[in-house]
Amino acid sequence: MQDRNVKEQYDELLKNVQTNLRVRSYISAFFIPGFALIKWLFDLPIHWAIFPILGILFALSAIYYLLFLRWKVFKTLFTLSIASTLITIADLLILGSLLYVIGGFTFGAILALPLYIIYAYLVYPFRWQSYTVLAAVLLFFSATSFLEYFGTIPSFNITGVSVEANRNPSFFAVNILSTLGLLFFIGYYSRIFSDKLREKSAALLIERDRLDAVFENLPEGVVVFDEIRRFVYVNSVAANLLGYPFIAVSGKLFSDIAPREEAKTVFHLLSQWFERAWRGDAQEVAIGSRAPRTFRARGLEIKDPYRKTRVLSVIIFTDISRDTIINKMKSEFISLVAHQLRTPLSAMKWNLNFMLEGEYGSISDVQRGALEKELQQTERMIRIVNEVLDVVRIEEGSYEYHFVAQPLASVIHDVVVSFTGSAKRKGITLSVQWPPQPLPEARIDPERIRMVFENLIENAIAYTDSGGSVSLLVTSRDGMVEVVVQDTGIGIAADDMSRLFTKFFRAKNAILKETEGHGLGLFLSKSIVEAHGGTITVSSNLGKGSSFVVTIPVA
């Protein structure tokens, strides 16, 4: 039983109790009209009417629970206990009323005990252990009722009837039966609930141990806080990062734990989480002084589905030291290869220029055309190598910027002029709309910013068909210079938007439209713009065009 799922045990308990309630409700509802009829025929004393009247009220309440609130009310054990109590009282009162109607001490005493045992056996999933309780209670209340009947001890008067009625022989059996039944019900259901609670507790402990084993064997560090920033759980990996075992911080507030020297970085990161300095995005942090390791920290909030408030905060630390080393080795390899390629490519470019200029002798028109195409491809290869080197430097943090304060308009104008010829040859209109007032100066690296607009305009022309247009709208507002590069080209699919500024990514329709391309231009552009304190965003309608918005803060 302990290995079974807790939910299955709970459902089984509900099913058993619901079955018991259902059977007792049907029995009560069946006998009520008969008892009322017998009372009317025999014209019983008026004070005994309390039995069928209360029986009717309790049974109606039971039927109401059963028929109208069954699927709603029977969802908690507390409500089930209340309903069970009411229906059992109704059963006992009705049975006592029946015995009194039949009358006679001998007949009632002989009938009472076996009748109720059979009744209880049919209604309850009766256990042999309960016979001990049943016999003990019967012996005690038989003795007290016998002494009460002969006047040796005062009457208990538990039913509210007169003392004279307590000395009626029939009431002797009714008193025993009613009290016995109530105590049996309480004892039996206490036994059921305690057994089920013990089984559930054991099952919960097993499941908790399994979860603990899972979390303890995770390669990630896991720290869990409640809504008041109290430590709820810390696995072994996270304990090493915090410098404290879980037993030392369990149940304590985060603010009450003094960070040790080697764990100050971790505590600072957790403080930022509580101050909402970072949410969702992973944070990379180096932990340790002698042999620092790099961890990526991710946080998530677990909310109460009903109150919609945060109940738990979970911080997960993933060791990415190995990945960092591999990425560094990869970057170094790419940098080495790119440097080795750039030298022969530059030599090829010089030689091709010398040939075109006639330094090695005259060439025919056919030869000139072939050499010009070769020169274009060589320049393209050099540009790719340079961009790969730029990506490596950006990732290493060694990409150099030389900021100066100058108008952004001059850079934009030069880039547009350089692409006017290629746009005209393709039959595309290239235009710029300037603001009425001169643009303020911006603190920029002119060479890097030029690369940004070269990438954007080159892409716009490449992915726009003949007859289309590429336009630039330049404005200045709120301390920012804003440049919108808009085209009427093929557009970008919604599925590709989230990956557009990642390395080596090209949209599917872009690959079909233009086979050449390496997917580094937008990654570089975003890195450069953000290094200037600006932003770059995109909006697009597939098949209708795209719009890139670049903002740069003024000086």
Tokens of 338: 């790119």
Structure tokens at 489: 């080209």
Q: Give the type of residue at 340.
A: Q
pLDDT at 491: 92
442 bridge partner residues: 406, 554
CB 384 within 8 Å of CB 519: no
What are the tokens at 57? 């009220």
The radius of gyration of the chain's CA atoms, rounded to the nearest angstrom, is 43
pLDDT of residue 279: 63
227 touches 311 (CB < 8 A): yes
Question: What b/e readout covers 259-291, taking b as 16+ CB neighbours within 10 angstroms?
Answer: beeebebbbebbeebeeeeeeeeebebebeeee
- What pLDDT is attached to residue 473? 95
What Å distances lie between residue 189 and 20, 196, 204, 242, 387, CA to CA?
11, 10, 22, 48, 77
Beta-strand runs (E) in 282-391? 283-287, 293-303, 310-319
Whole-Å CA distances, 470 to 51, 143, 473:
94, 106, 10
Which helix H or strand E contains 444, and what residues bound it? Answer: strand 441-444
* Amino acid identity, position 158: I
SS3 449: helix
The secondary structure of the chain in percent helix, strand, coil, rounded to multiples of 5, reads: 60, 15, 25
Residue with tokens 């507030």: 253
Token pair in block for residue 493: 């699919």
Q: What is the DSSP string of 396-422?
A: HT------EEEEHHHHHHHHHHHHHHH
Provide the terminal-to-terminal Cα distance of the chain, rounded to the nearest Å: 73
- The answer for residues whose C-beta is within 8 angstroms of residue 406's C-beta and 6 or more apart is 441, 442, 444, 446
How far is 419 from 487, CA to CA, in rounded Å?
Answer: 14
Q: Does pTM top 0.85 for this prediction?
A: no
pLDDT of residue 149: 53
Q: What count of Cα atoms within 13 Å lies in the side-chain half-sphere of residue 156? A: 16
Task: Tell me the two tokens of residue 138.
Answer: 């019967």
What residue ranges in 154-277 does DSSP mark as E strands? 221-226, 231-234
Per-residue pLDDT of the chain (555 residues; tens, 9 = 90+): 344 444 555 555 556 555 555 555 555 545 545 555 555 565 555 444 454 455 455 545 554 544 444 444 344 444 444 545 555 554 554 454 444 444 433 333 444 445 445 444 444 444 444 454 445 445 544 554 555 455 544 443 333 333 444 444 444 454 555 545 544 554 555 556 656 667 777 888 888 888 888 888 888 999 999 888 899 999 999 998 888 988 888 889 998 988 888 888 888 888 888 877 666 667 778 887 677 788 888 888 888 776 667 778 899 999 888 877 777 777 777 777 777 787 888 888 888 888 888 888 888 888 888 888 888 888 888 888 888 888 878 877 778 889 999 989 999 999 999 999 989 999 999 999 999 888 889 999 999 999 999 999 999 998 999 999 999 999 998 889 999 999 999 999 888 888 888 888 888 777 776 656 678 889 899 999 999 999 999 999 888 999 999 999 998
- CATH T-level assignment (fold) for domain 218-319: Beta-Lactamase (3.30.450)
The one-letter amino acid at 182: L
Strands 310-319 and 293-303: antiparallel
CA 103, CA 90: separation in Å to the nearest integer? 20
Which residue reads 């080197």 in tokens? Answer: 389
Burial per residue of 302-340, b for 16 or more beta-carbon CB atoms within 10 angstroms, e otherwise: eeeeeeeeeeebebbbbbbeeebeeeeeebeeebeebee
CA atoms of 28 and 93, how far apart (whole Å): 10
Contacts of residue 462, defined as CB under 8 A and 6 or more positions apart, other chains included, come to 513, 514, 517
Q: Which of 545, 415, 397 is nearest to 474 (CA)?
A: 415
404-553 CATH pick, 3.40.228.10, 3.30.420.10, 3.90.226.10, 3.30.565.10 = 3.30.565.10
